[in-house]
């Protein structure tokens, strides 16, 4: 926080909240989140609420209105491909702009990055990860794997104890976000009440609706200078109807995989036309045949996400 921001304001004076909001440049991050992620209105609403809390808390300090530092450790629940990592990244930017953390960077880890395989290995691994994340956001994906009660020789509990201590003592310079499937995270918290007590915000990321997935696909394509033809878009809508009923569907992640395959088929189709001239639009357009050649239209199910 700058000297100007941290100076004490006489109790009789006032501050312009709108001016403070603009000066923080939080809106820039919120706008970026809207551009990057389709839908997720409840999630975006909660992020805006957290931003408002931090902004007001900063102003309270300038009036010497003392209160505890807000606890912002979070739990993100939902299926794969629903935007959890992206939201965590933007959360780090908001925290930095409001002076809650120093750097605002995101460190993403799983159990393997925290838990060792022999005595004396876990503590240094966990502490090294925390050291890298300090000043920013530590995002622990599939956090429920930290706790394996069925294995008496598992060292995950040691990592949890270290995390609990840091989450309590360093909450003014580190935000920990646990992520995973909702049912598994619920069981994890039941077995680890200390961890539950340190999580202030539980945010559920809903699955995308078909129309949202189409919008996501078009956004992804535009980012790489591609687009659907009218017929290809209709084919992709049908593709989604079928793919969403199959195993291992991962929302936006599966959409990205499907588009990668469609681009591969488009390239193969265009290569088959060698000897003919190609226009810029030819190189940018995915046609219906590039989508309809998917195995989703030939098979009743997929064992892997190979659209």
- Burial (CB < 10 A; 0-12, 13-18, 19+), residue 95, is buried
Per-residue confidence band for 301, with pLDDT thresholds at 50, 70 and 90: very low
- What DSSP line would sit under 204-231, residue for residue? EEPPPPHHHHHHHHHHHHHHTT-EE-HH
Given CATH 3.60.21.10, say whether it is the number of domain 3-205: no
Rg, the chain, Cα only: 23
178 in Cβ contact with 140 (< 8 Å): yes
**Averaged pLDDT, 251-269:** 97
What is the C-alpha to C-alpha distance for residues 295 and 58, in angstroms, rounded to an integer?
54
Q: pLDDT tens digit string along 81-112?
A: 999 999 999 999 999 999 899 999 999 999 99
What is the C-alpha to C-alpha distance for residues 234 and 226, in angstroms, rounded to an integer?
16
Q: Specify the 3-state DSSP secondary structure of 282.
A: helix
**Averaged pLDDT, 136-159:** 90
Please tell me the predicted confidence (pLDDT) of residue 63: 86
In the chain, residues under CATH classification 1.10.8.60 are 210-297
Please tell me the predicted confidence (pLDDT) of residue 1: 47
Q: Specify the 3-state DSSP secondary structure of 139.
A: strand
**Averaged pLDDT, 44-61:** 91
Per-residue confidence band for 11, with pLDDT thresholds at 50, 70 and 90: low
Please tell me the predicted confidence (pLDDT) of residue 205: 97
What is the C-alpha to C-alpha distance for residues 93 and 101, in angstroms, rounded to an integer?
9
Cα dihedral 191, 192, 197, 199 sign? negative
Please enumerate in sequence order all residues whose Cβ is within 8 A of that of 115, keeping only pairs 6 or more positions apart, or say none: 122, 125, 126, 146, 154, 155, 156, 158, 159
pLDDT at 134 over 50: yes
pLDDT at 303 over 80: no
Please tell me the predicted confidence (pLDDT) of residue 12: 55
Please tell me the predicted confidence (pLDDT) of residue 50: 93
Please tell me the predicted confidence (pLDDT) of residue 2: 45
What is the C-alpha to C-alpha distance for residues 3 and 276, in angstroms, rounded to an integer?
66
In the chain, residues under CATH classification 3.40.50.300 are 3-205
For residue 302, the surrounding DSSP H or E stretch is: none
Tell me how far CA of residue 247 lies from CA of 236, 290, 305, 306, in angstroms.
18, 22, 8, 11
Q: Rounded to two decimals, what is the model's pTM?
A: 0.85
| CATH no. of 210-297 | 1.10.8.60
């Amino acid at each position: 926080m700058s000297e100007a921001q941290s100076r004490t304001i006489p109790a009789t004076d006032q501050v312009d909240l709108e001016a403070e909001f603009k000066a923080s440049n939080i809106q820039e991050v919120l706008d970026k989140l809207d551009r990057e992620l389709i839908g997720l209105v409840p999630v975006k609403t909660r992020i805006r609420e957290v931003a408002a809390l931090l902004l007001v808390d900063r102003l309270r300090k300038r009036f010497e209105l003392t209160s505890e530092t807000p606890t912002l450790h979070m739990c993100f629940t939902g299926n794969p491909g629903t935007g959890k990592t992206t939201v965590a990244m933007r959360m780090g930017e908001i925290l930095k702009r409001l002076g809650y953390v120093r750097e605002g960077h995101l460190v993403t880890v799983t159990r393997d990055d925290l838990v060792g395989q022999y005595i004396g290995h876990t503590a240094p691994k966990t502490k090294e990860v925390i050291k890298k994340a300090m000043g920013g956001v530590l995002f622990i994906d599939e956090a429920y794997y930290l706790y394996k009660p069925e294995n008496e020789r598992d060292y995950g509990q040691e990592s949890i104890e270290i995390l609990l201590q840091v989450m309590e003592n360093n909450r003014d310079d580190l935000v920990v976000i646990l992520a995973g499937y909702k049912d598994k995270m619920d069981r994890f918290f039941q077995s680890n009440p200390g961890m539950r007590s340190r999580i202030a915000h539980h945010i559920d990321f809903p699955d995308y609706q078909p129309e949202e997935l189409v919008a996501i696909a078009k956004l992804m394509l535009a980012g790489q200078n591609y687009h659907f033809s009218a017929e290809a878009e209709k084919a992709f809508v049908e593709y989604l109807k079928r793919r969403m009923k199959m195993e291992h569907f991962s929302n936006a992640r599966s959409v990205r995989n499907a588009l990668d395959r469609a681009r591969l088929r488009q390239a193969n189709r265009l290569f088959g036309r060698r000897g003919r001239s190609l226009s810029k639009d030819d190189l940018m357009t995915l046609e219906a045949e590039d989508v309809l050649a998917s195995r989703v239209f030939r098979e009743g199910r997929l064992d892997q996400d190979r659209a």
